Structure 1
Amino acid sequence: MPYPRRSIGDELDRATSFLTKAGVPNAPRDALLLIAHFTGRAPSTLRMRLEEMLEDKYFEFGAQSYKHDILGERAKGKPVSKIIGSRAFWNEDFRVSTDVLDPRPETERLIEVALEHPFERVLDLGTGSGCILISLLQERRGARGVGVDLSVKALDVARANSGDAGTNAVATWMQSDWFSAVEGQFDLIVSNPPYIGVDEMADLSVDVRDFDPRMALTDEGDGLGCYRIICADVQKFLTPNGRLIVEIGPTQAAPVSQLFADASLSQIEVFQDLDGRDRVVSGVLR
């Protein structure tokens, strides 16, 4: 039986209803993004053309594929970004996959804090998609950076994003277990390390727990293990007056600040995200 043609508005209503019944939060937004992806149009264009009939070509080869592979995946909890393969962050759309942590708006606070002072050489520990390093290099023309990650697949995503963003000439990507393969010193070191305690993993939403790489979420301990590793060696890799800036979980400001102090960092500051939660800790090498 042929799939009946519908207007964009009708299809948006049907998709929203389907996702709402599946318990998907923000179903209208996700329905719009998924239909835009399926039809190759911008979401803003669809909003302005709700009465327009969708072309037959969008359904003649797979209404079932559309419903089950796209809407169905979202209904199962897969994030929109992992379905369409990209996520907006700072000023770019970054490629994402199940091999990298999904860039999130709260991480943009780290970018804002880092840009408050000049830097020429930056190291991104646990770079994942590369979104932090690439965003910083785009904002600071003339700066150079190194992004390291233990995951080879994550580095493949970061390199692709770097090519898309035009930062290949100033960014180096390498496999490293934190500082193990890093050489030289940097006036800025940034990181969004795994900070979820292993006992907190079961409480995460499905779209995070099941579709972000586990190694990017938890240290399999108390959530502070990676900060301990970073702070233990950071003096070797920071220039005098260089800064370390990390993202944290909302309950970790005090212990991470203490780790900074124990590592001889001064001018330690805690910054909140837009929801008023502690999100970033910054310190300067004495």
Structure 2
Amino acid sequence: MTIGRLLCEAGATLRQAGIAEARLEARLLLAHALGVPREILLRDADREVATEAEAAFQEALRRRCAREPLALITGDAGFWTLDLEVSSDTLIPRPDSEAVVRLALALSSAPARVLDLGTGTGCLLLSVLAEREGAWGLGLDLRPGAAALARRNAGRNGLGGRCATLAGDWGAALAGRFDLVLSNPPYIETEAVAGLMPEVARFEPGSALDGGVDGLDAYRAILADLPRLLAPGGVAVLEVGIGQAGPVRSLGEGEGLVFLAGEADLGGIPRAVAFKAIGEALRTP
């Protein structure tokens, strides 16, 4: 079968399965199966596809029709300026989270030590390190598989010598202080997790989604630790869900933190909030 015919049939199949960007995803899946850039597919539409490659494409198509995320099928995703490996151990990086990176870079011009709590793929930490050549970073994740994935992504993007990744429960085991703390914690209300789109509810780790009854459990733990984790003049930037910027700001101020700024995602939704520590929190023990 030719590339053109495969794409035509695959687009129809994906549309029937409820995939919004059916034509685009058909091209991405076929390019992955063939191991070529997707631009080549239009140029070579009349080219015959080898049986083995066609079988791999049909299997990828079957998985996508079952609503498995495209990124998990191809095994990678783009974020900021990075090319990242993804797996079922972590959330798939989303453009919304780039608001955290933008705000962190705007408020922290020369961090020496960066901490990423719940690092997942390492997307936040590695994006900041890529922009701040003098910085060193530490990524923590409760899931050992996620910490290992972030470590591979650091090497993949030439940043392996400037960061470490460990398995740990937020900042509980840390004693040092950091100039910049980043986090995209779980923030979906427990009752809402099952109602998320199938790609998320079925295939992404529940522990990275479920933020407790009100979605704020992880923020309570992180914000309570920030006064001891932030170095003098340090900044913390956290991703928040829809409608959570105000509640998270209140929680932070209740811990003695100073709210600095917020940042919206590309859809105009408040997506990141930043704090600094004051008073006793700024003194070195």
Task: Give TM-score scaled by structure 2 length.
Answer: 0.93
The separation in 1 between residues aligned to 2:5 and 2:274, in whole angstroms, is 49
Equivalent of 1:110, from 96, 100, 103? 100
Q: Which residue of 2 aligns with 1:23?
A: 18
Equivalent of 2:39, from 31, 44, 55? 44
Which residue identity lines up with residue 73 of structure 2 in the other structure? I
Q: Which residue of 2 aligns with 1:92?
A: 82
**Structure 2: runs of 5+ lacking an equivalent:** 279-285
Q: Which residue of 1 aligns with 2:193?
A: 201
DSSP-derived class of the 1:103 partner: coil
DSSP-derived class of the 2:18 partner: coil
Q: Which residue of 2 aligns with 1:66?
A: 57
Paired residues of 1:261 and 1:268 also in contact (CA < 8 A): no
Are residue 188 (structure 1) and residue 180 (structure 2) matched? yes
Q: State the aligned residue count.
A: 276
Are residue 137 (structure 1) and residue 129 (structure 2) matched? yes
The separation in 1 between residues aligned to 2:151 and 2:191, in whole angstroms, is 33
Q: Please give the per-residue CA displacement for 1:46-105, whole angstroms capped at 9, x wherever unaligned.
A: 23332333345534xxx3x532x2101000000010011111111122101111110000
**Deviation of residue 217 (structure 1)?**
0.5
Change (3 A) 1:201 1:56: closer
Q: Which residue of 1 aligns with 2:7?
A: 12
The separation in 2 between residues aligned to 1:248 and 1:183, in whole angstroms, is 26
Equivalent of 1:221, from 209, 213, 223? 213
The separation in 1 between residues aligned to 2:68 and 2:5, in whole angstroms, is 24
The separation in 2 between residues aligned to 1:190 and 1:14, in whole angstroms, is 44
The separation in 2 between residues aligned to 1:88 and 1:47, in whole angstroms, is 22
Q: Please give the per-residue CA displacement for 1:227-261, whole angstroms capped at 9, x wherever unaligned.
A: 00011111001012211100000110111011121
Paired residues of 1:86 and 1:94 also in contact (CA < 8 A): yes
Q: Which residue of 1 aligns with 2:283?
A: none
**Deviation of residue 150 (structure 1)?**
0.8
Q: Which residue of 1 aligns with 2:236?
A: 244
Q: Which residue of 1 aligns with 2:245?
A: 253
Task: Spell out structure 1 runs of 4+ moving beyond 3 A.
Answer: none
**Structure 1: runs of 5+ lacking an equivalent:** none
The separation in 1 between residues aligned to 2:164 and 2:247, in whole angstroms, is 31
The separation in 2 between residues aligned to 1:66 and 1:35, in whole angstroms, is 6
Paired residues of 1:260 and 1:268 also in contact (CA < 8 A): no
The separation in 1 between residues aligned to 2:166 and 2:35, in whole angstroms, is 34
**Deviation of residue 267 (structure 1)?**
4.0
DSSP-derived class of the 1:203 partner: coil
Paired residues of 1:126 and 1:149 also in contact (CA < 8 A): yes
Q: Which residue of 1 aligns with 2:282?
A: none
DSSP-derived class of the 1:115 partner: helix
Which residue identity lines up with residue 23 of structure 1 in the other structure? G
